[in-house]
Each structure stands twice: as structure tokens, then as C-alpha cells.
Amino acid sequence: MLKSVTFENFTILPSAHFDFSTGINAFVGENGTGKTHLLKAAYCVNHALSDLISKPFYFTKNRTDIYFEERLIGLFQTNNLINLLPYHSNSHFAQIVRI
């Protein structure tokens, strides 16, 4: 279960941190504020945890990075992670999600 998530330079979320409570969490906001992006990224991390836990010796740092990169590219239907940076950002794609 995800307890919190932090975004840095991810799509329209330049810097955001969310702490989740047990049970149901609701995200309310106007269109274009990042609700769906938050849910997609949280889904990606939550879904991947079982693979990472079940094969701890397989997932080196490099393999883990590639694993998340492939899943985020597929989930957001983009061809490159750089497309998930805010348009105004000129920083490097460092770390999207911290568990």
C-alpha cells in the first residue's frame, strides 16, 4: 500500500507531496490540475511493488530504473520520459516518484 508519493518536475506537478490515509482517498480539483497523472503514477508504482518485492535479487538499480521507465512510457502513452517534464522545465529528468 502506498503511504505517500512525491513528484518533482513531473508533467504539470512541478513539486507535490501527498500523504495517503488508510481507506479511501479522494482527489478533487479542476480539469488540468494533475489528478489523472497522480493516479496513473501511483498505479504504476503500486502495481510494480509486487514484482520488485518478489524478485529482489533481479532488480538492480539500473534494472529498476528501466522497469519504471518502460511502465511509465506505456501508461502515459509517450515515446520518451522527457515528454513527462513540464514544458517550462529545462532540468534533467532525475527522479519522478519516491516511495
pLDDT level of residue 19 (50, 70, 90 thresholds): very high
For the whole model, what pTM was predicted?
A: 0.67
CB 44 within 8 A of CB 38: no
- Interhelix angle 35-54/61-76, nearest 10 degrees: 140
Each residue's pLDDT tens digit, 37-87: 888 888 887 777 777 778 777 777 778 888 888 888 888 888 887 888 775
Q: Which residue(s) pair with 10 in the sheet? A: 13
Strand order in the sheet with 13-19: 13-19, 4-10, 97-98
